[in-house]
Amino acid sequence: MFKNKCCMYLSRRIELEKIFRKTLSSHNGWESIMYPIKLVLFDLDDTLLHFADYWENSVKDAFRNHFFTSEMNSNDLFDVFSNVEQFLVKKLDSKQISFDEYRTKRFLYSMDQMGKTTDVETAINFEMFYQSISKKHMKPNVMINKIIKDLSNYYQIGVLTNGSKGWQNDKLEAIGLDGIIPKEYVFISEVIGYEKPSPEIYHHVLSMTSLPPEQVLVVGDSWTNDVAAPIQEGLKAIWLNKKNYQVPQEPRPLAVITEIEELRAILLSHIDDSPLD
């Protein structure tokens, strides 16, 4: 009897070690996943909804149909716009510009490079037009939605995202997750008044959910926003490292994954097994 239990324990331990083969923090990471996680908080952009899946079609569609750009070559304009966008994303990530500035400047700088004179009002108008068009190009990801639904049987699922209320909610609706993730667990920076990686945004989530930080797991593609900052506030984190960037030494997330589907092995496999005792 004892031997059987011992064997079960050992096989379970081997199984768990296999599951966490990607866990960076060897012994401590193995222990820490055992702590009960109640809430899994997903980042939205480039985690649940991939920018590359809708960006090019949406931007070109918007250029072809917006009053200011419809006469211009949408392919040329897209190349310019993409370069400007990459330049501004770095400024946004390093907090040199706000989200609003990022959205208007990418249009203004692009038009400037195309030799066209325009203004902030037109840039805002284009941005709104682009957003409305993008919704058409955002499609539910069957595999992601399935795992979110499966996870929701065992964990509270939420979203923690930087952006505006309307736009982020539109995205959730477009990808079919608005019906799976309850509204009260959708945390959007514009509504909260703080953006990731400000500590206040994670504190807000803890306060609204009445959960201790170690019971909240953040999953996202940004090392700064979804791993380093939440861990600093005591939350747990899993990094979605789709582009296989070099993994920083510290802090140590529970795991590093390249696909959301890998969460199934990490968060669900041990639930289906019988308890150890």
Q: State the residues that interact with Mg ion by CB under 5 A.
A: 43, 45-46, 221-222
Q: What six digits make up the tokens of 251?
A: 């802090």
The nearest distance, CB 177 to Mg ion, in angstroms, is 15
Which CB sits closer to Mg ion, 47 or 104? Answer: 47
**Whose Cβ is closer to Mg ion: residue 122's or residue 161's?**
161
Helix (H), strand (E), coil (C) string for 119-148: CHHHHHHHHHHHHHHHHHHCCCCHHHHHHH
Starting at the edge strand found earlier in the chain, the sheet holding 156-161 runs 186-188, 156-161, 39-42, 216-220, 236-240, 255-257
Count of other CB atoms within 10 angstroms of residue 51: 13
Please name the amino acid found at residue 208: M
Least Å distance, CB 168 to Mg ion, is 11
Nearer to Mg ion, 169 or 222 (CB): 222
Nearer to Mg ion, 123 or 231 (CB): 231
Q: Count the helices and strands in the chain (H runs, E runs).
A: 13, 6
CB of 222 to Mg ion, least distance (A): 5
Phi, psi torsion values for 69, nearest 5 degrees: -115, -5
| Least distance between Mg ion and beta carbon 196 (Å) | 9
Percentages (nearest 5) of helix, strand, coil residues in the chain: 55, 10, 35
Complex with Mg ion: residue 19 or 175, whichever CB lies closer: 175
CB of 17 to Mg ion, least distance (A): 30
Q: What is the DSSP letter of 163?
A: S
15 vs 45, beta carbon nearer Mg ion? 45
Q: How far is the CB of 205 from Mg ion (least distance, A)?
A: 16
The two most distant CA atoms of the chain are separated, in Å, by 82
Closer by beta carbon to Mg ion, 58 or else 222: 222
Q: How far is the CB of 162 from Mg ion (least distance, A)?
A: 8
Integer Cα distance of 12 and 9 in angstroms: 5
